[in-house]
């Protein structure tokens, strides 16, 4: 029994220690007061509170928080009333200021957000408000961050959640957007037709150019072919003349060739042909040619049997060359053939 008081005292001490031992979770902070005055801030870990002298004034979370304010009416610079709601992302960076800076810091931040939104949007017109979300967000975040520093709050960012213009404005905007879409559609169609016409014209131009180039190349090829043919014909003729000259052909052979050419001309369908006067003279002089060729014995009297050529310079096709008995054509031809070895 003599140890009973000490056992009671020991149990009381253990109970006091267990009752005043505190574990602070991660991302939280405890604001501690000593006799009603701020003493310290407990971070995450194990802490022992002095019984009856110290107390936990406030448990503060250090995590990022979201303040989603309800939509509120905002008037723009051009007197258009819209419903806008903004979302504020913040966190507590100083638990002591958050505890003692304002009675209700979250409510204060909500009201400050509403007034700041009205001030910022009130400086803009309707079109600027609808197209300047980023500028509004940045400006509001800067203003709210500066204003909430005494409360231990750090405003990270502000986002405009909804911008709802009046119904009449919405209908006007829909009509405007519809007109813009129709305008863009018309412009795109016109541009497409323009490009199609340009492509078609370019294709037609290219086809005409190619056709002209093809015709030009064809003409050049035909001209080259004709020139080549003429060249080969003249070359063959020159080669024939050189062979004749090499064989010792004299003027009598050439005159015989003229007779043969006249014979080929007479093979046509025409009843009469016109020949040059020198051909007629050649026929008249054939007797002299026969005498110089030592063929006088086979030639008859030229003056008596030479049939005069018509004054018009024409031969009658119905007669053969042998019918002209007075010109000794056959004798001359036989003599020439013999000379050429035919």
Instruction: List pLDDT tens digits, range 281-315.
Output: 665 665 454 555 544 444 444 444 444 444 434 44
Q: How many CB atoms lie within 10 A of CB 3?
A: 8
CA 161 to chain centre: 41
Which pLDDT does position 176 carry in this prediction? 83
> What span, in angstroms and rounded, lies between the C-alpha atoms of 107 and 84?
18
Give me the mean pLDDT over the 28-36 stretch: 90
Which pLDDT does position 36 carry in this prediction? 85
Which pLDDT does position 306 carry in this prediction? 44
* Burial (0-12, 13-18, 19+ Cβ within 10 Å), 11: exposed
What is the CATH code of the structural domain delimited by 65-165?
Answer: 3.30.479.30
Query: Model pTM greater than 0.75?
Result: no
Please report which confidence band the pLDDT of residue 142 belongs to, taking 50, 70 and 90 as the band edges: very high
> What span, in angstroms and rounded, lies between the C-alpha atoms of 196 and 185?
16
> What span, in angstroms and rounded, lies between the C-alpha atoms of 302 and 36?
172
The domain locations on the chain are 4-61, 65-165, 248-340
Question: Tokens for 304?
Answer: 């008596």
Instruction: List pLDDT tens digits, range 56-74.
Output: 888 999 999 999 888 889 9
DSSP secondary structure of 95-111? HHHHHHS-SSHHHHHHH
Residue pair 25/44 in contact (Cβ under 8 Å)? The answer is yes
> What span, in angstroms and rounded, lies between the C-alpha atoms of 165 and 152?
35
Instruction: List pLDDT tens digits, range 258-273.
Output: 667 666 666 666 566 6
**Four-point Cα dihedral 226, 229, 234, 238, nearest 10:** 160
C-alpha neighbours within 13 Å on the C-beta side of residue 272: 8
The CA distances from residue 262 to 126, 279, 316, 337, in Å, are: 108, 9, 12, 17
303 vs 142: which has the higher pLDDT: 142
């Amino acid at each position: 029994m003599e140890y009973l008081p000490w056992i009671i005292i020991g149990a009381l001490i253990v109970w006091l220690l267990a009752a005043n031992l505190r574990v602070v979770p991660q991302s939280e902070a405890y604001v501690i007061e000593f006799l009603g005055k701020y003493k310290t801030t407990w971070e995450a870990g194990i802490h022992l509170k002095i019984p009856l002298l110290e107390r936990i004034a406030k448990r503060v979370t250090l995590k990022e928080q979201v303040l989603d304010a309800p939509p509120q009416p905002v008037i723009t610079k051009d007197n258009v009333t819209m419903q806008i709601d903004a979302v504020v992302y913040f966190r507590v960076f100083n638990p002591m200021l958050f505890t003692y800076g304002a009675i209700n810091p979250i409510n204060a931040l909500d009201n400050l957000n509403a007034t700041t939104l009205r001030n910022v949007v009130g400086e803009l017109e309707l079109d600027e408000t609808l197209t300047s979300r980023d500028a509004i967000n940045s400006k509001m975040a800067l203003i709210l961050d500066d204003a909430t520093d005494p409360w231990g709050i750090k405003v990270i960012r502000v986002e405009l959640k909804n911008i709802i213009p009046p119904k009449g404005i919405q209908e006007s905007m829909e009509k405007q957007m519809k007109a813009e879409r129709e305008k863009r559609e018309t412009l795109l169609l016109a541009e497409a037709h323009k490009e199609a016409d340009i492509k078609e014209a370019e294709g037609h131009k290219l086809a005409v150019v190619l056709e002209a180039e093809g015709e030009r190349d064809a003409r050049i090829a035909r001209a080259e072919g004709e020139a080549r043919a003429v060249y080969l014909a003249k070359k063959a003729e020159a080669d024939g003349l050189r062979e004749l000259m090499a064989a010792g052909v004299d003027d009598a052979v050439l005159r015989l060739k003229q007779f043969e050419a006249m014979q080929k001309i007479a093979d046509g369908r025409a009843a009469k042909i016109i020949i040059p006067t020198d051909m007629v003279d050649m026929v008249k002089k054939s007797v002299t040619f026969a005498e110089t060729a030592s063929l006088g014995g086979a030639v008859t009297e030229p003056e008596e049997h030479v049939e005069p050529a018509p004054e018009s310079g024409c031969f009658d096709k119905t007669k053969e060359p042998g019918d002209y008995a007075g010109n000794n054509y056959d004798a001359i031809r036989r003599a020439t053939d013999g000379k050429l070895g035919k």
